Structure 1
């Protein structure tokens, strides 16, 4: 059967309704059509299915055995179409069972993920969150649906992506509050002469490197870490200095009781955004997740 031979949706709706009401007149009223129009539709359906479907009796329009056999499949088709048309509003966070994968830096594991997790556990107990790295695979993962969102400074993501700015980030320096040479403020001279701990990865790291180059600052790097794990305790137990985006810097300072200083030279600010692929722009679950992120973090910074 070709597409042109498929019955119109209105004919299936008539069949479903007429099977219940057993009256062409009542079916026409409920469909908002004239009785002659509904009679014409019924004639088309009879011709298409090569069966009378309904015969007149004292008790009304009585279905034939063929109609009895077809009403189940007809209603399955109509229910499938209803589910199809309601797809956009079908996501209920209170009852949904689903995994969302979010690409983010390990700094976001500390600054964003705990708050997001608390909200999701309270509002959507059946949702499982999975944090993934931002790397060269992120764009492909968003396009394929393997990942739902990427949160961070990811200017290299290609076309086909939507984005929403959450907040701006500037830069701060962390130091031991009992540092023997850094007291009330960190000067540029001290920054040049002190030892540093640096993080190898980070979505804004390139901006810091550009600023160091611009200001002709060559840091004395004593320790390089692959991520944020252990950074707070290292700063607290040494005289090393770390330069970080404000959110992660202030969070580590609060947790580890270490000092936050203004960065003594200008570093370009950057926007933290959430990114998603255009294929999933209208998908109900993705829309819900994006609204959660925006509600929680768009006023920060």
Structure 2
């Protein structure tokens, strides 16, 4: 079989190998699960493609021709390569894997999700390195190209070719200083309207908050605007300002800084946090493992 010539179909190569071993069309048909007429047709095609009788009838069975003797070695090499190809599955072993995963996440996830994920990886996959990237207009193309592995958050604009999995639902809360001079455990609309506020300009859910405030006809008295959640806990804990934010990041900051959590008195549409990945990497062993880790960490936490 020259590399310059097209190879026969795998089923014909299998016939050639089996017939070379058993020297009988009847036994070859049994081993391949085919009828004798089918085997005869395949053998005729094989003879035509290789331009040689390959096997001739003798009292001792179907004897190979010198050409068949020359071809059996290359034939077996091809079949073995095909077997390895069809059974090969790259194994991802977390305990020994050396790999970088790039996650597109919101700023809030730096505080809420990444520490939990990282602690799990340090314990179970110490060779894994994480890289955090922003969720932005390039997220979809990054997932498609493999530059990023997963996007985690509220990313409703991602298009076709994406898989998604729900992690948890989010509603809205307000944070205040535990020693706030005017706010007790319950914050009503009047108190909300009267207080000074910190506004976070980042976050994919901020448009939902703005829409809810517009429907309620409330214009907050913004005393400070921050580009992200960094420093928000310290600011709320040391002033009388109020912050409105999704529950997960709100509860996390409250636990870290001893803040008071109030149910948001304004009707604001909630949203679903999901993990997203491109169809090209749906069967990737490492990607599948990381998705399962994240699902286990955050679906269980919010169940």
Compute the TM-score of the two structures, normalised by the length of structure 2: 0.80
CA drift of 1:227 comes to: 1.3
Query: Aligned-residue CA RMSD in angstroms?
Result: 3.3
Instruction: Spell out, residue by residue over 1:124-169, the C-alpha distance to the aligned partner (whole angstroms, 9 max, x if none).
Output: 4554433221111112222333223222112222334333332221
Contact 2:107 2:228 in 1 (8 A): yes
Gaps of 5+ in 2: none
> Hey, what does 1:197 align to over in structure 2?
198
> Hey, what does 2:227 align to over in structure 1?
226
- Distance (whole Å) between structure 1 residues aligned to residue 250 and residue 298 of structure 2: 17
> Hey, what does 1:254 align to over in structure 2?
255
> Hey, what does 2:271 align to over in structure 1?
270
Whether 1:67 aligns to 2:67 is no
- Distance (whole Å) between structure 2 residues aligned to residue 16 and residue 292 of structure 1: 45
Structure 1 pair 73/184, CA: closer, same or farther in 2 (3 Å)? closer
Give the 3-state SS of the residue equivalent to 1:242 in structure 2: strand
Gaps of 5+ in 1: none
> Hey, what does 1:41 align to over in structure 2?
42
Give the 3-state SS of the residue equivalent to 1:118 in structure 2: helix
> Hey, what does 1:131 align to over in structure 2?
132
CA drift of 1:28 comes to: 4.0
Whether 1:292 aligns to 2:288 is no
> Hey, what does 1:140 align to over in structure 2?
141
- Distance (whole Å) between structure 1 residues aligned to residue 290 and residue 216 of structure 2: 41
Compute the TM-score of the two structures, normalised by the length of structure 1: 0.81
CA drift of 1:68 comes to: 2.8
> Hey, what does 2:118 align to over in structure 1?
117
Structure 1 pair 196/92, CA: closer, same or farther in 2 (3 Å)? same
Contact 1:93 1:123 in 2 (8 A): no
Contact 2:19 2:28 in 1 (8 A): yes
Structure 1 pair 240/57, CA: closer, same or farther in 2 (3 Å)? farther
* Matched positions, count: 293
> Hey, what does 1:153 align to over in structure 2?
154
